[in-house]
């Protein structure tokens, strides 16, 4: 990196600046370590934890990255919420440092400062930084590859090209989306006339070959499992159905992007990417960041013409979006007189969203009934809207699983059952995590490969004729497949998952008597 910066200046010109950045990141990281223990695991986290107890070269829907990372965390701190989320918080801090380095490389200290602030206030990154899913790994390695590729084209050292390929490969082991970064690099080299020469040099292909080496475990696993992971990706993107243009789905996708990024931040990023007036001072740097944003965002926008993509799928491209927004701030000021007021409003709204999302108690203040009882129809509508908003509390995903497990354990002891079954992989994983001793749990045998639980040995392979189980599910009826596996499936209880004294979601509990492992269909 030394050749990228002027030899007369240090990377950060003032020690006080470096100290400020260090203290800010440390303070936020300590808060996140504390906050990470205040919520229970969400379904996906529990699923990756379950995978970490059955490590493999790859899994049904993802590479081994998240499972291996959780394995390391739980071997340090045990099978606890802190152990599962430990590296998520560390990765978020490391990503903040990487964003500082990237912004400083491409622009200046001032841009690095504003980039870090945007990242800290952006709801998608702020709230998601404590969850140990595939996203912290994906974003971290995406950012590292972004830095090393820029250094590689400046320094032209083969090692940096290979390192870039390794970072893309490591990110891909967590999330297949990271492979798109290679397309972003190729687009930049094609788009920037000075860098088209990279296609004629072996360095670019060393990078590609390195990434391919990291992809081998996933490829081998998929070959052994009849490419089930590719089939799942096609199904996940709704590409296995007839294609039709649905403008409402695209608007849903864009609205969700504005929500998780924060409306003014999202608008600022889009303007910075697609408004050509913004790139006059740093044309090459702006070209590079646009190349890293457009392919992924464009792909999911096109996909959303048929079915809206999930809001977090585009998360890696906002690494470039944040730096570009901060880097082109001076250009925006020259062309827009209201820019200062806009940035104040942007940070206020983003900060409000982030603070409110960290503690959603305000969604459950019992005032909706009072408002709906008012005779004024407008006040009644406000009360109804408030009640509906509380019913979709986003943090409820991380509340209640321990109460489900405890209720299921009580019924298991009462009816003397041997194991637990659920109707989906998330509930099955959460049960295993929160039950004493973390026993293996199972998903109903659907007679087809539905997810990773369909690939692991099921209860019919592990339990003897006549065994009994507790079945936990979210619907008031048991699936036909389960009734085929047992001589009797009888509902014995209904109960809500709880956070404190507040009910969240209703679950149904059945006793499954008389397992017949010989039944096939």
* Nearest C-alpha neighbor of 182 from the set 149, 158, 214, 153: 149
The whole-number pLDDT of residue 3 equals 42
Biggest CA–CA distance in the chain, Å, is 80
CA distances, 506 to each of 181, 502, 509 (Å): 42, 12, 10
Burial environment of residue 55 by CB neighbours within 10 A (0 to 12, 13 to 18, 19 or more): exposed
Contacts of 414 (CB under 8 A, 6+ apart): none
* Nearest C-alpha neighbor of 230 from the set 64, 482, 62: 62
The answer to whether 61 touches 235, Cβ cutoff 8 Å, is no
The whole-number pLDDT of residue 353 equals 82
The whole-number pLDDT of residue 7 equals 36
360: helix, strand or coil? coil
Contacts of 333 (CB under 8 A, 6+ apart): 339, 340
The whole-number pLDDT of residue 351 equals 82
Cα separation of 319 and 158, whole Å? Answer: 25
The whole-number pLDDT of residue 1 equals 42
Cα separation of 86 and 246, whole Å? Answer: 41
- DSSP annotation string for 268-303: HHHHHHH-GGGGSSSHHHHHHHHHHHHHHHHHHHHH
194 φ/ψ angles, rounded to the nearest 5 degrees = -65, -25
Cα separation of 300 and 385, whole Å? Answer: 30
The whole-number pLDDT of residue 397 equals 85
Cα separation of 318 and 148, whole Å? Answer: 18
CA distances, 160 to each of 102, 164, 207 (Å): 15, 6, 9
Strands 419-422 and 469-473: parallel
Cα separation of 135 and 137, whole Å? Answer: 5
- Chunk the chain into consecutive blocks of 10 residues (it has 521) and report each block's average pLDDT, rounded to whole numbers: 41 71 90 93 95 93 93 96 96 94 91 90 85 94 97 90 97 94 95 90 95 94 84 66 78 90 89 72 87 94 87 91 86 66 82 80 58 57 52 79 94 95 94 95 87 90 91 87 90 90 89 78 43
* Nearest C-alpha neighbor of 172 from the set 126, 203, 218: 218
The whole-number pLDDT of residue 216 equals 94
Domain map (residue ranges) of the chain: 15-355, 360-393, 399-515
How far is Cα of residue 457 from the mean position of the Cα atoms in its chain? 28
The whole-number pLDDT of residue 155 equals 85
Sheet strands side by side (includes 486-499): 442-443, 419-422, 469-473, 502-515, 486-499
CB atoms within 10 A of CB 485: 23
CB atoms within 10 A of CB 415: 16
| Cα atoms in the 13 Å half-sphere on the side-chain side of 407 | 21
CB atoms within 10 A of CB 247: 9
The whole-number pLDDT of residue 410 equals 95
Contacts of 493 (CB under 8 A, 6+ apart): 407, 411, 508, 509
How far is Cα of residue 332 from the mean position of the Cα atoms in its chain? 31
Strands 486-499 and 469-473: unpaired
* Nearest C-alpha neighbor of 260 from the set 396, 126, 355, 138: 126
């Amino acid at each position: 990196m030394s050749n990228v910066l002027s030899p007369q200046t240090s990377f950060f010109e003032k020690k006080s600046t470096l100290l400020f950045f260090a203290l800010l990141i440390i303070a936020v990281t300590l808060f996140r370590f504390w906050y990470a223990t205040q919520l229970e695991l969400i379904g996906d986290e529990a699923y990756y934890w379950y995978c970490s107890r059955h490590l493999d070269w790859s899994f049904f829907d993802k590479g081994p990255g998240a499972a291996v990372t959780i394995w390391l965390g739980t071997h340090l701190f045990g099978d606890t919420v802190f152990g599962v989320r430990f590296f998520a918080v560390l990765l978020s801090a490391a990503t903040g440092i990487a964003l500082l380095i990237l912004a400083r490389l491409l622009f200046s200290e001032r841009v690095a400062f504003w980039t870090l602030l945007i990242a800290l206030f952006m709801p998608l990154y702020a709230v998601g930084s404590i969850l140990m899913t595939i996203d912290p790994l994906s974003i971290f390695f995406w950012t590292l590859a972004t830095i090393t590729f820029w250094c590689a084209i400046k320094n032209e050292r083969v090692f940096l090209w290979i390192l870039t390929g390794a970072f893309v490969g490591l990110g891909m082991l967590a999330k297949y989306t990271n492979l798109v970064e290679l397309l972003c690099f190729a687009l930049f080299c094609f788009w920037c006339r000075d860098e088209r020469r990279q296609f004629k040099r072996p360095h670019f292909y060393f990078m590609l070959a390195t990434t391919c080496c990291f992809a081998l475990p996933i490829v081998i696993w998929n070959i052994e499992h009849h490419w089930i992971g590719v089939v799942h990706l096609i199904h996940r993107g709704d590409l296995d159905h007839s294609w039709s243009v649905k403008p409402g789905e695209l608007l849903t996708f864009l609205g969700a992007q504005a929500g998780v990024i924060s409306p003014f931040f999202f608008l600022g990023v889009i303007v910075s990417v697609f408004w050509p007036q913004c790139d006059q001072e740093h044309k090459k740097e702006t070209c590079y960041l646009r190349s890293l944003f457009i392919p992924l965002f464009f792909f999911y926008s096109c996909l959303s013409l048929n079915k809206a993509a999930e809001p977090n799928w585009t998360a890696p491209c906002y690494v470039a979006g944040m730096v570009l927004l901060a880097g082109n701030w001076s250009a925006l000021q020259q062309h827009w007189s209201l820019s200062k007021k806009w940035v104040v409003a942007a940070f206020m709204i983003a900060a409000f969203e982030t603070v409110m999302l960290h503690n959603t108690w305000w969604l459950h203040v019992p005032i909706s009934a009072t408002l709906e009882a008012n005779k004024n129809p407008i006040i009644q509508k406000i009360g109804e809207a408030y009640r509906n908003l509380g019913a979709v509390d986003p943090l409820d995903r991380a509340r209640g699983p321990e109460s489900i497990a405890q209720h299921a354990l009580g019924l298991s002891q009462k009816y003397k059952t041997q194991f637990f079954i659920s109707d989906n992989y998330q509930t099955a994983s959460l049960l295993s995590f929160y039950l004493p001793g973390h026993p293996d749990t199972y998903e109903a045998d659907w007679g087809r490969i539905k997810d990773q639980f369909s690939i692991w040995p099921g209860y019919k392979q592990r339990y003897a004729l006549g065994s009994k189980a507790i079945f936990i599910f979210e619907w008031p009826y048991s699936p036909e497949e389960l009734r085929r596996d047992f001589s009797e499936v009888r509902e014995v209880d209904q109960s809500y998952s709880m956070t404190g004294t507040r009910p969240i979601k209703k679950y149904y509990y059945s006793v499954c008597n008389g397992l017949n492992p010989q039944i096939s269909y």
